[in-house]
Amino acid sequence: MSVIRPVEPRDIAAVREALVASWHATYDPILGPQRARALTDAWHAPQTLAGEIDLPDGAFLLAEDAGRVVGSAFARIDDAGGVCLRRLYLLPEAQGTGLGTRLLEETLAQLGPRAAWLEVETSNLAAMGFYASRGFAAQGLRETCGGNDLASALVMRRPPGLRLRRAEDRDAQDLFGLVTLCFAEYPGCFTDPHDDMPDLLRPASAARERGMHFLVVEDGVGRVCACIALDFPQAGTAEIHRLYVRPDSRRNGLARHLVGVTEAHARAAGATRVILWSDTRFENAHALYEKRGYVRGSEARELGDVSGSREWFFERELLSSVKYM
């Protein structure tokens, strides 16, 4: 049986043992065993971990499986009132079980509905993909990670109250309603689920068949209010699809955040370039893409669909010199 609970003084030895083991599994290939050992000895000393228990502005939780500590997380409220996730590590054998998600969400929930942020070492692609799947988007690059001058960091942020998850087949009706509302803003733009958008009839199944990440956002009443999808048409290239936000859920940065989430997915998967096609009528979307550094190409394509759609091509390079917004 798996349990998430606050760390107690009696847990420090077991928490440290799991933390050091998972740290070496993550960072030995990146920093080398000697440097990784020096950092974990300095940052994760027993007295340091003990001092993180019961901080009024902190949350220190552990994950147990069958009574064995397999991971832990520590977060703290920063000077701006947001939550900084300082640390989350699971033993390799506990990863992919759902414990990481539970540990993340329960740790952040301890500190209230606040914006959250974290740093990911830029070579730690597995962690980058994990956080992107849970609503964190890349915001910028730092030359150091946790004060370590041998590594750079990608800063990732998540706004408060974001309920991001993978699309499920049961979302079909909500997704058609979402797309229909968005298309209604443009004369001559219609929703045709059977010919133009058959993947929305079974969104999760279709995504699995295509190797696609298809994410949705739920609002406070459990209604799908936004979506975005990402696939990889060729090596090194990711393509964004299906970015839609309900009219009553706009003007809060949600669309921009979803694009950032998919870019983080793309980077974690090894992509160096993101592309997309957007209907020539969707001028607000074009403005968003261009603010994020996408460049519109000269080519356009005709879809031959019921809406008479014509689309423009956009692309962006995912390089370390790119400025995140």
| 40-77 pLDDT tens trace | 898 899 999 999 998 999 999 999 999 999 999 999 99
**Does 169 share its domain with 99?**
no
Q: Is the pTM of this model over 0.75?
A: no
- Which of 76, 96, 114 is the endpoint of a domain? 114
**Does 173 share its domain with 238?**
yes
**Does 22 share its domain with 86?**
yes
Domain count for the chain, please give it: 2
**Does 10 share its domain with 83?**
yes
Residue 207 lies in a domain: yes
- Which of 54, 81, 114 is the endpoint of a domain? 114
**Does 168 share its domain with 312?**
yes
Residue 150 lies in a domain: no
**Does 208 share its domain with 310?**
yes
**Does 167 share its domain with 288?**
yes
Segment 97-126 shows an average pLDDT of 90
Residue 133 lies in a domain: no
Provide the β-strand partners of residue 311: 279, 301
**Does 177 share its domain with 88?**
no
**Does 99 share its domain with 213?**
no
State how far the Cα of 218 lies from the Cα of 240, in Å rounded to an integer. Answer: 20
- Which of 114, 134, 149 is the endpoint of a domain? 114
State the number of CA atoms in the 13 A half-sphere of 85 facing the CB.
28
pLDDT at site 325 = 36
pLDDT at site 150 = 54
pLDDT at site 98 = 87
pLDDT at site 147 = 57
| Residues 129, 133, 137, 142, CA torsion sign | negative
pLDDT in tens, 276-307: 999 999 999 999 999 999 999 988 899 888 88
Segment 98-112 shows an average pLDDT of 92
Q: Is residue 299 exposed (0-12), middle (13-18) or buried (19+ Cβ within 10 Å)?
A: exposed
**Does 200 share its domain with 274?**
yes
**Does 183 share its domain with 292?**
yes
Residue 90 lies in a domain: yes
Segment 177-206 shows an average pLDDT of 86
User: Phi first, then psi: what are they for 187, rounded to 5°?
Assistant: -55, 135
Residue 322 has pLDDT above 50, yes or no: no
Residue 52 lies in a domain: yes
Task: Give the domain CATH number at 11.
Answer: 3.40.630.30
Its domain, for residue 92, covers 2-114
**Does 293 share its domain with 170?**
yes
Q: Give the closest residue to 17 by CA, choosing from 119, 89, 112.
A: 89
Query: For the chain, what percent of residues have pLDDT higher than 90?
Result: 59
Residue 136 lies in a domain: no
Residue 205 has pLDDT above 60, yes or no: yes
User: Phi first, then psi: what are they for 301, rounded to 5°?
Assistant: -135, 150
